Structure formats: C-alpha cells, structure tokens
Amino acid sequence: MFEEFSTQMFATQRGRQVGLALSILLSVILLTMLFTTFSTWYSDFLLTQRKVVTTAAPVTDEVSLAISQIPTLHLFGMSSEADAAFLPITSLQLHLTGIIKVYPDNLSKAIISEAGQPGKVYAVGDVLTAGIKISAVNDNGVVLEHGGRLEKLPLARSVLSFQDAPKSLL
C-alpha cells in the first residue's frame, strides 16, 4: 500500500515537490531535536562537574552576640491577647470577680480576689502576690504571666435562668 502511495506521489512533479518539502521538514525537526538534546545534556554535565567553593564569614562580635541570644529568642513568636483563647487556665487560687474594659486597653482594670480574700482592683502591668503579673485584660478574662508562662483567668459567668414563662404585655 505504501509503495502504491509513494509511486503515485513521486510520479508527478507536484508529488515530488511535496515529498521533498516533507523530507526537509522532517530533517529540520530531527536536527533540532538532536541539538536540543545534546545542549541539555552538555549543560547538565557542566553543572555536575562544577566545583562548589564556600568561604566562611569571619566571626565578628555582632555574630557572636547574635548566636549567644538564640536561646532567649522565641522560635514561634510570643503569645498575644488575641491568642488568649488557646492559653491554659491558671491553677492558682485566684477568682476574677469583674472586669472594667476601657480603651486604650492599658487602662482596663480587673477585680481579682486571692485565696478567698476580698477583691482588689488591678491594672495591666500590676503584680499580684508571688510575682504574678497581669499581662492583659480582655472581655472574657485576664491574661496572667506566671513564671514566664502565660495563663488565663476566665471570668465566671452564670447562666441566665427564668422562673416562669414571660407574661403577655396586653
């Protein structure tokens, strides 16, 4: 079948021109493919043969100071007031009686009683007994700094309960 097609194709002047054009096109495609393959292989070969030269930076006072401060840095950052929902609840003998929330936040106050004593008013930055510092006052509680860790002291809220069904106003 191919012989019939090829003999008919090359038998006429037009067929020979089409055949020659196809042969040239296929040759160009083949040569382009071979050139691209060789150039890719050669550039990869050069990359594998390249010598990597590294030079150590001189250790200066700034570098040694930065290295010495690594243990004090916080790897994942510091907790903020927005993260108070994920803080552990404190196990200290403290009871949060009330919150006075004002803006700016550093003027907010909290009423906290310690170990069954009457409540006292504390502001952000105040220190309770045993070195417990008030770090933040939010809508739902207080963030305490205790031994370098942040803990929350939530505001106890009682659930509303109704005695009877509401009466009609009419």
Per-residue pLDDT tens for 124-133? 888 887 788 9
**pLDDT tier at 77, thresholds 50, 70, 90:** low
| Residue 104 preceded by cis peptide, ω within 30 | yes
The pTM of this model reads: 0.46
Work out the average pLDDT over 134-158. Answer: 85
**pLDDT tier at 38, thresholds 50, 70, 90:** very high
Residue spans of the domains in the chain: they are: 2-49, 81-154
Strands (E), the chain: 94-100, 109-114, 120-123, 133-138, 141-146, 149-154
Work out the average pLDDT over 73-93. Answer: 70
Contact yes or no for 153/140 (Cβ under 8 A): no
Per CATH, the architecture of 81-154 is what?
Answer: Roll (2.30)
